[in-house]
Each structure stands twice: as structure tokens, then as C-alpha cells.
């Protein structure tokens, strides 16, 4: 199965989940997603998702100076983002449960 199509549908949820407990900058968020098992997630997809979630009012940003290179823009989950994370998590759990039942019936 091509996981890139699945990722398109859940990348917002994955990014919000990664930011739930700790703020992060773009590459750090990408690394955390990949280390969680989303190996096929693309750089451009994550950066585009961060911009879209920020524009939708679910994230805040701040800049941290770096002595090793350019300043880093950090993303943080705000109240609207936490609300969306909760709602999307509920939808995902229901969907995953339905799919697990469908797959289990045929296996």
C-alpha cells in the first residue's frame, strides 16, 4: 500500500500530535515524525503543513537565535491547536477502529 496517500490525510494530526508536548522547528518536527515511524513523510509536506496550520490559527511561532547557523522558527501548539488535536484524534480513533474491524473480518 502506498503510504504517501495515507500521510496526506493524517499529516495535520501527526504534526499537531508531535507538538503536543514540545515545541519544535521545522527540521526537528520532520525528524520526530520520521523517528516515530513516518519514514515516507516529505520535507516540503511538513513545512507546508506547518504554514497552513499557523495560518489557520492552530500554531504560534517564535524565533530562537542559533550560534550554529540561521535563527530557527519554532512552532508551538496553542489553544485552538489543542482543540483541533482532540477533535481530530477522536475522528482518527473511530476511523481506525472501523478499518481494524473491516480488515479483521476478512483476514
| pLDDT, tens digit (0-9, with 9 covering 90-100), for 42-80 | 999 999 999 999 999 999 999 999 888 889 999 999 999
- Is this prediction's pTM over 0.85? yes
The pLDDT, as a whole number, for residue 7 is: 80
Task: Annotate 47-76 with DSSP letters as a single string.
Answer: HHHHHHHHHTTSEEEEEE--SSSS-EEEEE
Amino acid at each position: 500500500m502506498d503510504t504517501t496517500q495515507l500521510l496526506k490525510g493524517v499529516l495535520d494530526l501527526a504534526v499537531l500530535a508531535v507538538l503536543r508536548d514540545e515545541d519544535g522547528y521545522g527540521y526537528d518536527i520532520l525528524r520526530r515524525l520520521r523517528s516515530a515511524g513516518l519514514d515516507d513523510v516529505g520535507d516540503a509536506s511538513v513545512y507546508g503543513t506547518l504554514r497552513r496550520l499557523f495560518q489557520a490559527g492552530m500554531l504560534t511561532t517564535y524565533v530562537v537565535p542559533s550560534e550554529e547557523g540561521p535563527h530557527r522558527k519554532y512552532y508551538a501548539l496553542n489553544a485552538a491547536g489543542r482543540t483541533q488535536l482532540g477533535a481530530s484524534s477522536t475522528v482518527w480513533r473511530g476511523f481506525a477502529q472501523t478499518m481494524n474491524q473491516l480488515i479483521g473480518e476478512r483476514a
